[in-house]
Structure 1
Amino acid sequence: MTQTPPAKKTNVFRSVAAALLGVQSDHNRRQDFNQPSALPFILAGLVVIVIFVAVLVGISQFVAG
């Protein structure tokens, strides 16, 4: 199994967002798992989750008045 070159930042965030929503294609998932390091995906995942939670808190505070 050959490793692919490191993923670009935009591709990492796109993969994390697709996986978060559950629409990650099998082809992209295979590419992601062939990357030399999982660290960019972990960091991007944490950033996306923090932003997601912040948006939910903001919406709930706006609605609650």
Structure 2
Amino acid sequence: MSKKTPFKTAFKSALSALFGVQNSSKHKEDFESETPFPYILAGVILVIGLVLMLVAVVSAVVP
């Protein structure tokens, strides 16, 4: 049983997975998705955002 996943749902799932707080039922639901593209896109956006945030914090702290 496959289904389409809205990007907002994929983003929330990727964010919770990034922090390691995703429960197993949501994990199973994610793998029933029709395509992994929304999850991959959300993951890439989150990782780029995390890296940019860390660069900004380090640049602000280190003169």
Q: Which residue of 2 aligns with 1:26?
A: 24
In structure 2, stretches of 5+ residues that fail to align are none
Distance 1:33 1:10 in 2: 16
TM-score by length of structure 2 reads 0.93
Where do 4+ consecutive residues of structure 1 move more than 4 Å?
A: none
TM-score by length of structure 1 reads 0.90
Q: Root-mean-square deviation (CA), in Å?
A: 0.8
Deviation at 1:25, TM superposition (A): 0.9
- Cα distance per residue 1:27-49 (max 9 Å; x no partner): 11111000010111111100110
Deviation at 1:13, TM superposition (A): 0.5
Deviation at 1:63, TM superposition (A): 0.6
| Percent of aligned positions that are identical | 29
- Cα distance per residue 1:5-41 (max 9 Å; x no partner): 2111211110000000000111111110000101111
Q: Which residue of 2 aligns with 1:11?
A: 9
Number of residue pairs matched by the alignment: 63
Distance 1:7 1:25 in 2: 18
